[in-house]
Amino acid sequence: MKKLRVGHAGCGSVSIRGILPHITQPDAQEHLELVAVCDVDGERARAVADQFGAERSYNSFEELIQSDDIDMVIIATPIFLHAAQAEMALRAGKHVYVNKSMALTLDEADRVMQAVKDTGLKLVSAPGQMLAPSLSKIRELVQKGDFGHMYWGFANNTGGGHGVEMYQSGNTSIRRDPTWYYKKPSGGPIYDMGVYSLHSVTGILGPVRRVTAMSGIVRNERRFDDQVIDVEMDDNTWMVLDFGHNCFVTVGAGLCHHGVHMYWGQLALYGSDGGVEISKLDDATGWPSELRILRGGSEELIQTPISEHPLLRGEHLTLPEPHIYVDIMHLVDCIRHERTPVASLEHARHVVEVIEKSYIAAHTGVAQQITSTF
Ligand SMILES: NC(=O)c1ccc[n+]([C@@H]2O[C@H](COP(=O)([O-])OP(=O)(O)OC[C@H]3O[C@@H](n4cnc5c(N)ncnc54)[C@H](O)[C@@H]3O)[C@@H](O)[C@H]2O)c1
């Protein structure tokens, strides 16, 4: 079968650490071929093209998507660019994989949805949480009614901030100025991190009906080397999601501190007859690797190693961010076999509305109805 030809946009941290190393492995290259990369920093794009064996590099996204020999585009640029770039790529005739979050507002997501409808092309949106065997297992148990009527839960994604992440230490090519992660319109921990928990809980429990939130800035200033970054976006947010039938789940996202009991990617959901808690998390994917199942007064631990996913073999188990690789290969599979994406535009659009309305609720003090579904 003909290989899909890939154009990659954004040669920043995640691309160099976690996307390009995966898609240039021999098993991935049986299905796709990296043809071109782009970054507004043209020199960087050229260096990345050389490093990963792409034929061409561009310093503009518009040029990349005009290439006739590209079938699909991977978007790994700052979040505020995602929706417009996804729409442009679709209208230029390319299938799209867009990193999270897909958009900032429901209006933006609607424009992407219209472009998919108009072109009939495929779009897979990160994060593909429901592609994780462990999370789809939880959904299966919930849907079978093993835990009774689901009514309560919490999830969070809390980290120290982008300037202090491990890959930012040392003077490597991976290191990037994290300023946009603290600025309006797309900074803050929800569009970048809380979006994982939001996809997990909605993937398991279904669409949210109503949301309210508390949100604010804890640290007004961040540092990156000698540079002082004035923080504009809230770095501390708690949302309460109403799923209907008195089922409420809190989701938190913060850029301040994380701990042992409150750790990144935590998830616990309870029903009238039991519940499920993540008891171990895989660091590379952020997927649960052990579940504690509470049922009928007893407790059972289920191992859910990420290698349960058929694509995660060999080098993919040692490289960072293997979940992004799974998402991208999901797009390849959907294009090849005319399948409907599990990591769907509709799901991502719903989560985008939840995020947008959470901020409105936090800043007005009024709970917001959610209109979208998936
Ligand atoms: N950093 C992580 O650990 C991580 C992990 C998973 C997913 N992500 C997601 O990946 C995306 C990128 O994150 P990052 O940390 O790599 O950001 P980054 O700031 O390190 O890199 C973004 C790159 O995009 C380039 N860029 C900016 N405007 C552009 C444009 N118009 N066209 C082409 N390139 C442009 C920048 O020059 C930069 O090289 C975000 O959506 C983020 O949420 C990041």
Question: Quick one: pLDDT at residue 263?
Answer: 87
Note whether 85 and 146 are same-domain residues: no
Sequence-distant (6+) residues with CB within 8 A of 211 are 239, 240, 241, 242, 354, 357, 358, 361, 367, 368, 370
- Domain contains 175: yes
341 lines ligand 1 (CB under 6 A): no
Q: Pick the closest to residue 7 from 167, 48, 341 (CA basis).
A: 48
Q: What is the tens place of the pLDDT at every residue in 200-220?
A: 999 999 999 999 999 999 999
Residue nearest atom 38 of ligand 1, based on CA coordinates: 12
322 lines ligand 1 (CB under 6 A): no
Domain ends where: 108, 125, 142? 125
Q: What is the number of the ligand 1 atom nearest to the C-alpha of 15? A: 16
What is the total count of domains within the chain? 2
Sequence-distant (6+) residues with CB within 8 A of 96 are 72, 73, 75, 86, 89, 90, 121, 122, 123, 124, 331
Note whether 147 and 271 are same-domain residues: yes
Note whether 145 and 77 are same-domain residues: no
Sign for the pseudo-dihedral over CA of 310, 136, 159, 330 = positive
Q: Pick the closest to residue 7 from 47, 62, 51, 44 (CA basis).
A: 62
Question: Quick one: pLDDT at residue 175?
Answer: 77
Note whether 133 and 113 are same-domain residues: no
Give the amino acid at 88. M
Note whether 196 and 61 are same-domain residues: no
d(CA 136, CA 129): 8
Ligand 1 mean position to 217 CA, how many Å?
23
Structure tokens at 146: 């093993």
Note whether 133 and 227 are same-domain residues: yes
Ligand 1 mean position to 192 CA, how many Å?
11
Mutate to test the pocket of ligand 1, among 8, 37, 40, 77 (most ligand atoms within 8 A of CB): 77
Question: Quick one: pLDDT at residue 370?
Answer: 98
Q: What is the tens place of the pLDDT at every residue in 316-365?
A: 999 999 999 999 999 999 999 999 999 999 999 999 999 999 999 999 99
Sequence-distant (6+) residues with CB within 8 A of 292 are 276, 277, 278, 279, 299, 300, 301
Note whether 117 and 173 are same-domain residues: no
CATH code, domain with 118: 3.40.50.720
Section 266-275 average pLDDT: 97
Note whether 160 and 274 are same-domain residues: yes
Annotate 281-321 with DSSP letters as a single string.
Answer: E-TTT--EEEEEEEETTEEEEEE--GGGSTT--GGGGTSS-
Section 295-308 average pLDDT: 95
Continuous H helices in 12-127: 13-14, 20-23, 26-29, 42-52, 61-66, 82-91, 106-119
Q: At what angle do helices 195-205 and 345-364 cross, to 10 degrees?
A: 110
10 lines ligand 1 (CB under 6 A): yes
Domain hosting residue 26, numbered range: 4-125
- Domain contains 336: no
Note whether 189 and 264 are same-domain residues: yes
Mutate to test the pocket of ligand 1, among 8, 17, 19, 40 (most ligand atoms within 8 A of CB): 40
